[in-house]
A and B are shown apart, each in its own frame.
Chain A
Amino acid sequence: MTTSRREFFETAGRSACALGALGLGIAALAPESQGAAPVALRPPGARDGDRFLAACARCGLCVRACPYDTLRLARMTDDAPAGTPIYVARDVPCEMCPDIPCVGACPTGALDKSLADIAKARMGSAVLVSPETCLNVRGLRCDVCYRVCPLIEKAIALEAQHNAGTGRHVRFVPVVHAEACTGCGKCEKACVLDQAAIKVLPLALAAAKAGAHDVYGHRARTS
């Protein structure tokens, strides 16, 4: 059987169309294509966004390695691709094991083995999302989020401020220092309110960035 040039080009062209249609169709299933910003917290050492989803086998070996049952595999209803490892700080926060067993168990490198010091992990950042309900901001001495912080004084510090409400007292306002916070979530877990006033958010949501044109006069003077 001979194939004419016309037939050959038709077959090749139709094949390319079929492959392209299938590839693009399947690509549309990618979580990023659906415009969903991931809000779930990832294990320590997790690579960023797409890079994580290029590496994670969703095998759950990190979940099996976690001694505190912090990690679990995402369900269809979670804000992360189903089957990928996440944790919910208010349920079970990360206990920041010094030997980081979850990272050691990852076979694919979705969790980066170059993370040797758990204090350098950046799973997210705590944010005082609801200052008006925080007991400390309201002038009481709750201090729980500060006391449970594994990096107390570095990641959360209490800042003394004048209490304008009474005019004569001090408020000790919990202030998160994002450059030290690992996002372990012990503060969110421990917050005594019915719904936590301090929550851990993924860095993509928690982080802010100063404008490139900003000038800080006091720094300019001191340098």
Chain B
Amino acid sequence: MNEIRRAAPERFPGPASIAARGWLAAHRWLLLRRAAQLAFLGLFLSGPLFGLWIARGTLASSLTFDLLPLTDPLFALQSLLARHWPETTALIGAGIVFAGYAATRGRLYCSWVCPINLIADLALWLRRRLGWKKSLRLERATRYWLLGGILLAAALTGTIVWEQINPVTLVHRGLVFGGAALIGAAFAVAVAIFLFDLGVADRGWCGHLCPVGAFYGLIGAKGALAVALPRREACDECLDCFAVCPEPQVIGPVLRAPAEAGRLIRDGDCTACGRCIDVCHQSVFAFGGRT
């Protein structure tokens, strides 16, 4: 099964699963994930739109129900490297977020919360629809170098330079705070990422470059939640899971491993988006936990 890893996906993933298991079963986790992404955005938008304040702030730092502080631990780390000791509120918030993702799976943030995921998913879907195969070859490790780069830049300049260009908070801030200029900047960044992922590099931003995703992958590699392969024997090598997975390199080793090696995708890069579960017409995959 060595060739699975390298073979380019030959067909648009999904129809086989819809035919075998019905439309709803073939989109279950996708629908739940879209609902979660919109709900997280809704928590921040209900205040400015309807005067019903639930979460204030942005994904960088927020306050929910005037009680629960949440802060991006990557932001807090950069602040420390820039030689500012944050207030207790931000430190507690960063601790809560860190603990939550470390206990489950760090990159849940990427596929269930981050607004950029919607753009990346759309670009990937269109790429598969168009059948475009050519792609700029990027190393998956590039994101770790970028992560190192933004931390080093914070230490060198004594400011959080990354926040100047961070597309995650730029887009979220634009959506939450509105205003033509903020939305304009957010829209420009979103379109740039879309075009990059569609025409330049397959799964380019989230899968190869984003240092925020790299950071969350590192803090949540040992968490309790993982995708399992309870029906691995049923795999008929259709490659649909590889075509749809944002981090396809995590599937191969578990799919190819001998039975006694375990059936969990432990790799920290896995975002637990559940698209492989949806798209597999043989129902090979399911969410599982570490024991």
Residues of A that sit less than 8 Å from B by CB: 18-20, 22-27, 29-33, 50-51, 53-61, 63-64, 72-73, 75-77, 81-83, 105-109, 113
Contact = CB atoms under 8 A, between A and B. Distances in A.
A107 B156 contact: no
A56 B78 CA distance: 11
B181 A107 contact: no
Contacts of B258: none
B152 interface: yes
Nearest to A21: B149
A58 B58 CA distance: 8
Contacts of B62: 59, 61
Given A54-B159, A61-B56, A108-B84, 7 more contacts: A19-B145, A54-B83, A54-B84, A54-B160, A83-B170, A107-B86, A108-B79
Contact of A58 (B60, B87, B152, B161): B60
B153 to A, nearest CB: 4
A18 B165 CA distance: 20
Interface string B150-167: 111110111111111100
A25 B157 contact: no
A55 B154 CA distance: 11
Interface of B: 47, 56-58, 60-63, 69, 71-72, 75, 79, 82-87, 89-90, 93, 145-146, 148-154, 156-165, 169-170, 173, 176-177, 179, 181-182, 185
B166 to A, nearest CB: 9
B234 to A, nearest CB: 35
B75 A57 contact: yes
A60 B177 contact: yes
A59 B61 contact: yes
B211 to A, nearest CB: 10
B61 A107 contact: yes
A61 B83 contact: no
Given A57-B71, A61-B57, A19 B160 contact: no
B156 A24 contact: yes
Contact of B157 (A20, A32, A60, A83): A32
A60 B169 CA distance: 11
A41 to B, nearest CB: 18
Contacts of B163: 56-58, 81, 83
A27 B82 CA distance: 12
B181 to A, nearest CB: 4
A60 B79 contact: no
B153 A27 contact: yes
Given A30-B164, A59-B58, A19 B89 contact: no
A146 B47 CA distance: 38
Given A61-B56, A61-B57, A109-B84, A54 B79 contact: yes
